[in-house]
Amino acid sequence: MKKYKFALIGCGRISYKHINAINKIENAKLAAVCDIKEERAKKKGEENNIS
């Protein structure tokens, strides 16, 4: 079965809801995050094992 990779654009207050939704999808993986504030993107990446 095909695996789908998602990128999260924006790591603000609501981002955890999007991350939880992606994690609930069987063939989905959060592959990348980005944010205008580098520190926020780095933190979300580390929390979700994304380098």
Would you list the domain boundaries of the chain?
Answer: 4-47
19, 48 in Cβ contact below 8 A?
Answer: yes
Whether the CB-CB separation of 39 and 28 falls below 8 Å is answered with no
pTM of this structure: 0.84
Work out the pLDDT band at 4, boundaries 50, 70, 90.
very high
How far is it, in rounded angstroms, from Cα 34 to Cα 39? 10
Q: Say whether pLDDT at 14 is over 80.
A: yes
Q: How far apart are CA 37 and CA 20, in angstroms?
A: 21
CA distances from 21 to 6, 38, 39 (A): 11, 23, 23
